[in-house]
A and B are shown apart, each in its own frame.
Chain A
Amino acid sequence: KQEVTQIPAALSVPEGENLVLNCSFTDSAIYNLQWFRQDPGKGLTSLLLIQSSQREQTSGRLNASLDKSSGRSTLYIAASQPGDSATYLCAVRRYSGAGSYQLTFGKGTKLSVIP
């Protein structure tokens, strides 16, 4: 059974700092990995999707890397801002049979950026 772990569970940094969020998974047979952001009381917003054949993806100040063989992904946030405060979730997609794919989520890292 696939297990996804995100460490740390919570992180507090001063504004302007660069930071890295970690995600690890136990089964390297993944199809892709997706990073999400969730604001309190809200749904999930997709940030980046990395296919299993890719090493990284970038969007603005965000950069996500994937090392499938070691079961790890990182989300790098450059020059953090108070508006980046949210919970960040990673999810891995695996093939579940009959043409279907399922996401397995980590429990998230709650980020607080202090002005």
Chain B
Amino acid sequence: DAGITQSPRHKVTETGTPVTLRCHQTENHRYMYWYRQDPGHGLRLIHYSYGVKDTDKGEVSDGYSVSRSKTEDFLLTLESATSSQTSVYFCAISLLAGSDEQYFGPGTRLTVT
């Protein structure tokens, strides 16, 4: 299994509070991704990174920001959590941009009350 960890694994927070999710990899892969998975929508890309300090938006980036100060860590921040951001969040990595497989972390279940 790819060395990807996510923390926390579960979190309950209140509307309006800031939340940061962490993805940590030990594979030294260049590309990292954040997805959310919701019933009826499948997995959707939030943000991705193609290198340290290099990030870009995905399909559903509104309300989220990311940072990558080290190759191994990719942080996802909800500046002011809303109930619509209740979801399961997955981090993924890939060595190459296009031809390589993506490997997924175990997920973080976030509930915003």
Please give the residue numbers on chain A whose beta carbons come within 8 Å of chain B beta carbons, in ascending order.
4, 31-32, 34, 36, 41-46, 49, 51, 89, 91, 93, 95, 98-103, 105-108
Contacts and interface: CB of A to CB of B under 8 A. Distances in A.
B97 A43 contact: no
B20 to A, nearest CB: 20
A49 B48 contact: no
Residue of A32, A42, A89, A102 ringed by the most chain B CB atoms within 10 A: A102
Number of chain B interface residues as a range: 20 to 34
A7 to B, nearest CB: 14
B56 A46 contact: no
Contacts of A4: 42
Interface string B13-45: 000000000000000000001000000111111
Nearest to B50: A100
B43 A105 contact: yes
Interface stretch (B61-69, B72-80, B102-110): B102-110
